[in-house]
Amino acid sequence: MGTKTDAQAARLIDAIKSDIIIGRLRPREHLVEDEISAKFQASRHIVRAALVGLEQMGLIIRRPNRGVVVRDFSVRQVEQIYEVRMILQAEAARRLPMPAAAETVAALKAIHADYCRAQDAGKLLEVNVLNDAFHRRIWQTCPNQYLADTIERLWVETTGIRWYGVGDPTLLVDSRKDHERMIRQLEAGDREGFVALAVSHILPPLEAFKRAHGAAAFGHPAGVRPDHAEAEQSR
């Protein structure tokens, strides 16, 4: 059972993570304990515990003689992370129970309904939280827990990158349609379609990230088959 300190640190982690997601805290920006303590009315002990948690999530890093900074990624690093995500999500999708259990489908439909309402209301932070909940609920059904845990770790590490998709109205509409298709595929037991969509669905935020950094559109990483091509064509 968590302590009061754990609960306070968790709330502070969520608050700082939200600032990173929406760009209040920029890549390479310094996180100063005294400033965080004053802003969030938190003790230094709680601030330090929160920073440890954020570092474990991969959202911040400690640099020698420079202190704690918001983690930044080069385009090449992001490409490599997404290459791994594509491989892992395709493999996890091949292992999910198909068709999905009725309770899984019901939970996904409920999360998606909340997601649509938040999107229509322009509540982007809530959209981000519900998007996370939607995908976590899917991968929770993966029978290989180590595979699901690795997907989760990379999902958290790419929080700031995925915001490029949440902040784009066109990509949000596409994401909404993808979620609806995922639910139908899971309910019908369409494994081939779901495997393709599980890969293609994660690429638009990466492409938006690369455009923002002046890089070319994302291609198929070496060694990864373009299984998602059929899903892209059927949109």
Q: What is the pLDDT of residue 224?
A: 45
For residue 98, what are the contacts with CB-CB under 8 A and spacing of at least 6?
186, 189, 190, 191, 194
| pTM of the full structure | 0.78
Q: What is the pLDDT of residue 5?
A: 80
Residue where a domain terminates, one of 70, 90, 110 = 70
How does DSSP assign 63-79, residue by residue?
ETTTEEEE----HHHHH
Distance between CA atoms of residues 129 and 104, nearest Å: 18
Which residue stretches of the chain have pLDDT < 50? 1, 218, 221-235
Tell me, yes or no, whether 130 and 161 share the same domain: yes
Residue where a domain terminates, one of 51, 70, 89 = 70
Tell me, yes or no, whether 66 and 79 share the same domain: no
Residue where a domain terminates, one of 52, 70, 88 = 70
Q: How many distinct structural domains can be found in the chain? A: 2
Tell me, yes or no, whether 210 and 101 share the same domain: yes
Structural domain boundaries, residue 167: 75-233
Question: pLDDT tens across 5-51, in order?
Answer: 889 999 999 899 888 877 788 888 999 999 999 999 999 999 999 99
Tell me, yes or no, whether 62 and 100 share the same domain: no
Tell me, yes or no, whether 83 and 185 share the same domain: yes
Q: What is the pLDDT of residue 2?
A: 59
Percentage of the residues of the chain whose pLDDT score is greater than 70: 90
Question: pLDDT tens across 90-104, in order?
Answer: 999 999 999 999 999
